[in-house]
Amino acid sequence: MKQAICLILFLCFFSVESGFAVNKTALLKMKKFSLSKLQATYKKNASLEADFIQEVYQASLGRTKSSKGNLKLSKPNFARWEIYEPEASVMVSNGHKLSYYTPDARGKGKGQVIERKAADLQKQPLFRILTGASALSEEFKVEKQEQGVGIVEGEKWTELVLKPQKKLNDIVQVELKVDPNYLIQELTTETENGNKTKITLQNQTLGAKLPPALFEFKAPADTEVIQN
* C-beta atoms surrounding 61 within 10 Å: 9
Read off the pLDDT of each residue in 37-60 and give the average, rounded to a whole number.
95
Q: Tell whether the torsion through CA atoms of 207, 211, 216 and 217 is positive or negative.
A: negative
Read off the pLDDT of each residue in 169-189 and give the average, rounded to a whole number.
94
In the chain, the amino acid numbered 134 is: S
Determine what percent of the chain is predicted with pLDDT higher than 90.
Answer: 64
Average pLDDT taken over every residue of the chain: 84
Which pLDDT value is given to residue 145?
93
- Is residue 87 helix, strand or coil? coil
Residue 19 CB contacts under 8 Å (≥ 6 apart), including other chains? 143, 144
Model pTM score? 0.81
Read off the pLDDT of each residue in 62-73 and give the average, rounded to a whole number.
96
